[in-house]
Chains A and B, each alone.
Chain A
Amino acid sequence: RKEVEQDPGPFNVPEGATVAFNCTYSNSASQSFFWYRQDCRKEPKLLMSVYSSGNEDGRFTAQLNRASQYISLLIRDSKLSDSATYLCVVRDYGQNFVFGPGTRLSVLP
C-alpha cells in the first residue's frame, strides 16, 4: 500500500520562530512532490512544488531526499498567518496523487 506519512503535530511555535516539517513516502518510484497548506474547512492551496535540487520561495524552503524517501519544509520567521495544516502530496504515477494526513501548525503571538 502506497503511503505518505507526516507527524500530525500540532506544532505550536512563537512568531518569528523557524519550524521544519518532514514527510516520508513509501513508493520509491514517486515522481512529483508538493507542499500544500489547508486552512480549517477550506480547500488545499498549493504552497510549492519540491524539486530534486531543493527550492526556496521567500521564507519557505523545500528539500527532497529521494534516497531516504523524505521531503521537508522549512518555514523561517513564522507569521501568525502561517497557522494552518501543511499537506505533503506525492504523485505516484500518471495522475495518481497521494496526500499525507497533514501537520498542524499554530503560530502564537
Chain B
Amino acid sequence: GAVVSQHPSWVICKSGTSVKIECRSLDFQATTMFWYRQFPKQSLMLMATSNEGSKATYEQGVEKDKFLINHASLTLSTLTVTSAHPEDSSFYICSAKAGADYNEQFFGPGTRLTVL
C-alpha cells in the first residue's frame, strides 16, 4: 500500500520557537495532503487541506499565520508551527490522497509536539 512518512516523530521545543514538520508520500504522488491535530482522547481535527502548488485551505478557527503550510511538490508538504506555545502541544498527523479518483487517505505516523 501507499506509504506516508512524517519527520520528526516527536519534538520538544521552548515556547516562542518555531517547529517544522515534514510529510512525504514515499511511493505515490499526492495531489492533496491534509493536516490534522489530535488532542488526548479526542478525535482527529482537520486543520487544513493543501493542494500541490496552491495555497492551503484552512478550517474555521485555525490561524493560517500561525500554522504555515507549504505543499511545494507532489511528494512533500510541510507544516510550520510558528511561535509555539504550550497549548499547541498535540499530536499532528498528515494524510495524503493519490488523486481525485482515489477516496482513501493514507496517514503518516504522526508527530508528537511538546512545547515547554
Do these two chains interact? no
